[in-house]
Structure 1
Amino acid sequence: MTIAGGIVLIMLGAILTWAVEFDIAGFDINVVGVILMIGGLAWLLFAVYRLSLARRAVADTTATTVIEDPVTHRRTYQERHYNDPPAV
């Protein structure tokens, strides 16, 4: 489910609603276009919701270590990323 899928449904529904002049007995193409636009809007909102959840679920990838030198009493802050090679 992507954002593009919802936009495509909305565009297809708009084309069927306002640009197509087609008549079949017992079948209204304008109603089908409106249904597709509503479905595309629901799809678009759901895709944006899922995207916001995926961005919120990203884990912290840094680790901070505090090293204190006993002689100079200075603190050194070391920040490592998980994809860094191991320190020797």
Structure 2
Amino acid sequence: MGIGTSIFLLAVGAILTFALDASVGGVNLDVVGWILMAAGLLGLVITALLWGRRREVVATTTEPVEYRRVEERRDVAPPL
């Protein structure tokens, strides 16, 4: 789940919990809103942890690079 999806779930959950005053038969919209906000928050935390791991610095070797000399021969005819 990405950052955008997590924020979307948080927003929809907050709207269902705090702004909407409707009732649907057999469904408590306040509970659904809290569940969506919890899922959005959990997704946001997991995404932040994964992004933090991805940005770690990788140690590089300090050994010098081996250079090779390449010569081009122009006295050979191209293949037919």
**TM-score between the two structures when normalised by the length of structure 2:** 0.69
Could you say which structure has the greater relative contact order, defined with CA pairs below 8 angstroms and 6 or more residues apart?
2
**Structure 1 CA distance, aligned partners of 2:62 and 2:4?**
37
SS in 1 for 2:40: helix
**Structure 1 CA distance, aligned partners of 2:20 and 2:13?**
10
Equivalent position of 2:58 in the other structure: 59
Equivalent position of 2:21 in the other structure: 21
**Structure 2 CA distance, aligned partners of 1:2 and 1:47?**
6
**Structure 2 CA distance, aligned partners of 1:20 and 1:61?**
55
Q: Percent identity?
A: 36
Pick the structure with greater CA Rg: 2
Deviation of the 1:13 alpha carbon: 0.2
Structure 2, unaligned runs of 5 or more: 70-80
**Structure 1 CA distance, aligned partners of 2:61 and 2:12?**
45
RMSD: 2.2
Deviation of the 1:61 alpha carbon: 6.2
Q: How many residues end up aligned between the 2 structures? A: 68
Equivalent position of 2:9 in the other structure: 9
CA shift digits 1:4-34 (9 cap, x unpaired): 2111110110001011111122211111000
SS in 2 for 1:27: coil
**TM-score between the two structures when normalised by the length of structure 1:** 0.63
Name the structure where strand makes up a greater proportion of residues.
Answer: 1
C-alpha spacing 1:23/1:46, structure 2 compared with 1 (3 Å): same
**Structure 1 CA distance, aligned partners of 2:54 and 2:61?**
19
Runs of 4+ in 1 over 2 A off after TM superposition: 58-65
